């Protein structure tokens, strides 16, 4: 089976990067699961797994350190475009992020970047509203205790988080 091509588009900074080294573990209509190593070396972050929930507009990534220990689940609010002819997805990061730590701590970050992007017209009003609604859905999912159900999608395609 042919695997789709994935790009990550960021608004701040303005960049669009081919995720050529990401390994696609699973792809279906509303779910793509990948494993990857960091694009740019980081002190703590080494590698991870990501699940793109296309119908929900979120990407949940499991971030691991160099020793293979879970740092956190990093949740991006996203939109995407899809080109059927080339089987290519461009995942656009809508800036607002939620970090969920193994101890259950939840941290919402980068809302200042979302506001800046709106001020500078880097995103449309429609994208801003989508980002806020998707962020609200994600937070309600976390607070209700349903977040673990989403994590099962990542784990089923990479049991025991084995990367080899």
Residue 51 has pLDDT above 90, yes or no: yes
The CATH number of residue 84's host domain is: 2.40.380.10
The pLDDT score that the predictor gives to residue 164 is: 39
**Closest Cα partner for 35 from 20, 19, 46, 24?**
24
Q: Which residue's entry shows tokens 């020793």?
A: 67
- For the stretch 136-161, pLDDT in tens is 999 999 999 999 998 887 778 765 55
Query: Going by C-beta distance under 8 Å and a sequence separation of 6 or more, which residues neighbour residue 39?
Result: 17, 21
Angle at 37 between CA 32 and CA 43, to 5 degrees: 135
Say if 133 falls within a structural domain.
yes
Tell me the residue length of the chain: 164
Measured distance CA(74)–CA(113) in Å, rounded: 16
In-domain check, residue 28: yes
Is residue 164 one of the residues assigned to a domain? no
Instruction: Report yes or no on 51 lying in a domain.
Output: yes
Would 72 be classed as within a structural domain?
A: yes
The pLDDT tens digits of the residues spanning 84-113 come to 999 999 999 999 999 999 999 999 999 999
Identify the domain containing residue 99 by its residue range.
5-158
Alpha-carbon dihedral angle through residues 164, 38, 52, 146, given to the nearest 10 degrees: 80
Give the whole-angstrom CA distance, residue 84 versus residue 63: 30
Q: Does 163 map to a domain? A: no
DSSP H helices in the chain: 111-119, 125-143, 147-157
pLDDT: which is higher, 152 or 132: 132
End-to-end Cα, the chain, rounded Å: 20
Both tokens of residue 94? 């809508």
Task: Check: CB of residue 122 under 8 Å from CB of residue 12.
Answer: yes
Question: Across the chain, which distance is largest between two alpha carbons, in Å?
Answer: 44
Task: Specify the number of domains making up the chain.
Answer: 1
Provide the pLDDT for residue 159: 57
């Amino acid at each position: 089976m042919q695997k789709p091509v994935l790009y990550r588009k960021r608004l701040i900074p303005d960049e669009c990067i081919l995720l050529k080294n990401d390994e696609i573990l699973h792809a279906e209509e509303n779910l793509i699961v990948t494993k990857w190593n960091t694009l740019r070396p980081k002190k703590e972050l080494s590698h991870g797994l990501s699940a793109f929930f296309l119908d929900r507009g979120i990407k949940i990534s499991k971030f691991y350190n160099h020793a293979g220990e879970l740092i956190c689940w990093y949740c991006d609010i996203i939109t995407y475009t899809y080109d059927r002819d080339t089987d290519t997805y461009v995942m656009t990061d809508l800036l607002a992020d939620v970090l969920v730590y193994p101890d259950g701590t939840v941290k919402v970050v980068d809302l200042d970047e979302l506001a800046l992007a709106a001020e500078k017209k880097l995103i449309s009003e429609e994208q801003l509203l989508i980002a806020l609604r998707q962020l609200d859905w994600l937070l309600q999912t976390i607070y209700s205790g349903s977040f673990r159900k989403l994590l099962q999608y990542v784990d089923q395609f990479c049991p025991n988080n084995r990367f080899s």
